[in-house]
Homo-oligomer: A and B are copies of this chain.
Amino acid sequence: MGVNKDLPGGFEQLVMLAVARIGDGAYGMTVRRSLEERTGRNVSLGAVYSTLDRLETKGYVTSKHETGAAERGGRARRFFRLTASGLRALNEGIAALDRMRAGVASVPRPARAT
């Protein structure tokens, strides 16, 4: 890898953004849903989970299994949160992209706040 290791690439960025935007209720399904809604592409759960796993190995997210009785059918959910270093890496990656795109006429400026 490059000299600045581990700047997250495309999909990883998107997944981290999903986790960030969802906040507390971020687990596999909600991350997937968020991704699909905002990007318009359909993403498989497998894709989401393995990315999340890899992010966890890098220390960019942490996960915790739902405690107590999940009075809900199904396996205990695994909730994800962005770590400080994850946020840092995410912002660096985004910043680099922004610097790259600044002033390129054919590439639109980002929309204003939402």
- Listed in ascending order, the chain A residues whose CB lies under 8 Å from chain B are 2-4, 7-11, 13-14, 17-18, 20-21, 35, 38-43, 82, 87, 90-91, 93-104, 106-111, 113-114
Contact = CB atoms under 8 A, between A and B. Distances in A.
A17 to B, nearest CB: 4
Nearest to A95: B108
Given A2-B41, A94-B108, 17 more contacts: A2-B43, A3-B42, A7-B10, A9-B11, A10-B10, A10-B13, A14-B100, A17-B100, A17-B107, A20-B106, A38-B100, A39-B99, A87-B107, A91-B107, A95-B108, A98-B111, A103-B113
For this chain, the copies found in one complex come to 2
B104 A40 contact: no
